[in-house]
């Protein structure tokens, strides 16, 4: 009796669970349709071109989105094309209500069998919903939105209206959206003039425009055309004679030449699209076809000068890559950008998305921290081969370029100008590696930074964009900036949606230390700081007619140059995409030469502005060798800047006639040996 009662309860609970699940599912479906009804019909004609303008309001680009320049009615399209498109994409199009559940179930079974997610079952209505309103990302959120749009399309539009919109928006590759553009592009005829073979060829392309285009892969395109013809024959939409004639027809394609005009700053325009999508909280396709007017920060003249500098510098036969950004340091607006040498070959934006080791261009962040922790331009440390014992018991043995060392103490001013690695690692270990990470964050560096001694030599990976914005904070006196490409966005009705006023950023860095560091960074071009080797900017000094601050850097596979005036900061990277070493000597000079060529050209029409000296700073002529006040006996001297009260008090005696007496030399030697113990 108890067993029967238990079985009855189990069956009752199971039945109740099944009925409850069905009821919930039914209510959910009703809810979806009710919400879709309340939302009303989605706009089938939302395709409007978005236009990009330069900072002088010249048109630099136009986005067509997922739409054709032509609208072709269904009765103006070849019946062969209509039948072929339905046959291959959605043969039950006129029978379902937006979802082909039989195909969906079949696709699920195939995916389970093949342990993949390759098979899809999107109807024409679903594809139209995705093309018009959504991105192509594979997420559950996108799929749910797609379902809502599909229901609304089916609820408010006829099948012919949906099919017409689909054929006018589907992408056929090579920049051709819609059947009219595709027909003209591939066969130089209108969509209504397509014969059976031509229609089958075009109908096969949208599944994979680059894969099934006859201009990219004739074999694959032909196989797909024949598959579509077989579908039409099997469903009795064409006769055996029509099939044989189409199979054997030799298609006459239009003689297409690459007539694509050179686009102004294509990598920059990609960034504008990405930034606009984020600001408007839209997907990229919605921005492309939203009819917006987007006013950007691009300076067309500066862009051309940057491109010319690259073309003039890099040998055409070299396959080395480059990226560069020129930025207004007062507000972070990007005035010119190159993401690679040839956008048509590779649209990957190396300035924005690539992360590479910056080498010694990372050192200014370290020396800003050092200046904030007691260092001055005259602080001296010993430059010689050094083995550092780390806390974990391991040892670290950095080296200088080409194994050159001073083998004596050198000043911070000279260490930065010569890019002495030993000085940098000693400083990083003295401050603590966490301090450098913390300081780099203050400069806006967001990439992952390991707190290790080698970070002083730029062994983490960062983007050109991050580095240029960081240097921009030095150029503007220490104020926060955010790199950006957009100034204003206007909707199709003329409403200003966003107007990004370039307000002055918050003061983040100490203006006195920022200025001192900036002046130290002019030293890479000052031959008075030559020491055990020439200053790192000596090869381009003769090209420069203004005062710039900067720093170069290199690793085995990366070459960098970043520098600035008070009104423009520019960073250049060169290297190979596959990270192989830069072994050709001339290629190691490309970054510096591109930078120098561009900066000089860009400043021709800009005012000659000097770095402003903040209050509390004093300038003193210093002997570069000793770091002490220079005298008339010193062979060279350089104006250096200090916080008041921290400037050297004693004069250089090393260069007095006859030298110093023995007692003074011995005293000096003892002090230096004592100081060495704490370096």
Active site residues: 89, 360
Q: Kind and range of the H or E element at 269?
A: helix 266-280
Distance CA 447, CA 440 (A): 10
Please, what is the end-to-end C-alpha distance for the chain in angstroms?
Answer: 91
Q: Residue 67: is it exposed, middle or buried by C-beta count within 10 angstroms (0-12/13-18/19+)?
A: buried
Q: Is the dihedral of CA 218, 219, 225, 228 positive or negative?
A: negative
Rg of the Cα trace of the chain?
A: 34
CB 232 within 8 A of CB 83: yes
Helix (H, G, I), strand (E, B) or coil at 296: strand
Tokens of 368: 């800003």
Ordered alpha helix ranges (H), 90-207:
101-114, 124-133, 140-156, 159-169, 179-187, 196-203
Question: Under a CB-based contact definition with an 8 Å cutoff, are residues 412 and 423 in contact?
Answer: yes
Token representation of residue 285: 């396709």
Q: Which residues, at least 6 apart from 1, have a Cβ–Cβ distance to it below 8 Å?
A: none
605 class by beta-carbon count within 10 Å (0-12 exposed, 13-18 middle, 19+ buried) = exposed
Place of tokens 């509390």: 616
Local structure of 435: helix, strand or coil:
helix
385-418 in b/e form (b: 16+ CB < 10 A) is: ebebeeeeeeeeebebeeeebbeebbbbbbbbbb
Q: Minimal CA–CA distance to 364: which of 296, 303, 419?
A: 419
Cα distance between residue 333 and residue 7, in whole Å = 74
């Amino acid at each position: 009796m108890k067993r029967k009662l238990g079985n009855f309860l189990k069956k009752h609970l199971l039945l109740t669970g099944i009925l409850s699940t069905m009821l919930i599912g039914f209510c959910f479906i009703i809810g979806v349709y009710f919400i879709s009804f309340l939302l009303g019909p989605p706009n089938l004609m939302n395709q409007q071109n978005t236009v990009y303008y330069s900072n002088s309001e010249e048109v630099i680009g136009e986005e067509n989105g997922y739409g054709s320049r032509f609208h072709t009615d269904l009765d103006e399209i070849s019946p062969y094309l209509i039948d072929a498109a339905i046959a291959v994409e959605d043969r039950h199009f006129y029978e379902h209500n937006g979802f082909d559940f039989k195909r969906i179930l079949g696709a699920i079974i195939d995916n389970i069998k093949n342990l993949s997610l390759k098979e899809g079952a999107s109807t024409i209505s679903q594809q139209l919903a995705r093309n018009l309103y959504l991105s192509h990302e594979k997420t559950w959120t996108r799929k749910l939105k797609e379902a809502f749009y599909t229901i609304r399309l089916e609820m408010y539009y006829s099948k012919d209206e949906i099919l017409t919109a689909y054929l006018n928006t589907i992408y056929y590759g090579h920049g051709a959206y819609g059947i009219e553009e595709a027909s003209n592009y591939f066969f130089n005829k209108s969509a209504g003039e397509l014969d059976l073979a031509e229609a089958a060829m075009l109908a096969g392309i949208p599944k994979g425009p680059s894969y099934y285009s006859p201009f990219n892969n004739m074999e694959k395109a032909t196989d797909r055309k024949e598959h579509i013809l077989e579908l039409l024959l099997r469903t009795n939409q064409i006769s055996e004679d029509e099939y044989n004639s189409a199979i054997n027809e030799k298609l006459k394609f239009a003689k297409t030449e690459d007539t694509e005009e050179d686009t102004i700053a294509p990598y920059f325009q990609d960034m504008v699209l990405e930034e606009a999508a984020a600001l408007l909280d839209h997907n990229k396709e919605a921005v492309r076809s939203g009819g917006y007017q987007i006013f950007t920060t691009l300076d067309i003249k500066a862009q051309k000068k940057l491109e010319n500098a690259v073309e003039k510098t890099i040998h055409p036969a070299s396959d080395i890559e480059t990226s560069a950004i020129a930025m207004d340091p007062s507000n972070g607006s990007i005035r010119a950008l190159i993401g690679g040498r040839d956008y048509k070959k590779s649209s990957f934006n190396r300035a924005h998305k690539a992360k590479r080791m910056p080498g010694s261009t990372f050192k200014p962040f370290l020396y800003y921290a050092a200046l904030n922790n007691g260092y001055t331009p005259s602080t001296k440390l010993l430059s010689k081969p050094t083995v550092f014992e780390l806390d974990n018991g391991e040892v670290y043995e950095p080296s200088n370029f080409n194994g050159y060392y001073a083998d004596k103490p050198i000043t911070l001013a000279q260490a930065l100008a010569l890019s002495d690695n030993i000085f940098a690692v000693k400083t990083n270990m003295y401050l603590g590696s966490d301090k450098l990470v913390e300081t780099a964050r203050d400069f806006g560096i967001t990439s992952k930074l390991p707190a290790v001694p080698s970070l002083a030599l730029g062994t983490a990976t960062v983007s050109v964009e991050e580095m240029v914005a960081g240097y921009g904070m030095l150029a503007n006196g220490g104020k926060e900036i955010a790199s950006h490409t957009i100034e204003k966005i206007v909707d199709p009705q003329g409403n200003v949606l966003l107007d990004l006023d370039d307000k002055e950023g918050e003061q983040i860095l100490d203006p006195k230390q920022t200025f001192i560091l900036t002046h130290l960074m002019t030293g890479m071009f000052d031959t008075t700081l030559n020491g055990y080797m020439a200053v790192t900017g000596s090869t381009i000094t003769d090209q420069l007619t203004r005062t710039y601050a900067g720093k170069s850097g290199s690793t085995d596979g990366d070459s960098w140059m970043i520098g600035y005036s008070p009104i423009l900061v520019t960073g250049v990277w060169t290297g190979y995409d596959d990270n192989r070493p830069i072994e050709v000597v001339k290629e190691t000079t490309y970054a510096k030469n591109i930078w120098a060529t561009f900066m000089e050209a860009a400043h021709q029409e800009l005012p000659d502005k000097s770095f402003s000296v903040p209050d509390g700073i004093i300038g003193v002529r210093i002997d570069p060798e000793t770091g002490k006040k220079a005298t008339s006996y010193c062979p060279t001297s350089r104006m250096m800047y200090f916080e008041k009260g921290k400037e050297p008090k004693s004069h250089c005696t090393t260069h007095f006639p006859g030298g110093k007496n023995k007692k003074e030399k011995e005293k000096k030697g003892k002090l230096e040996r004592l100081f060495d113990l704490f370096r």
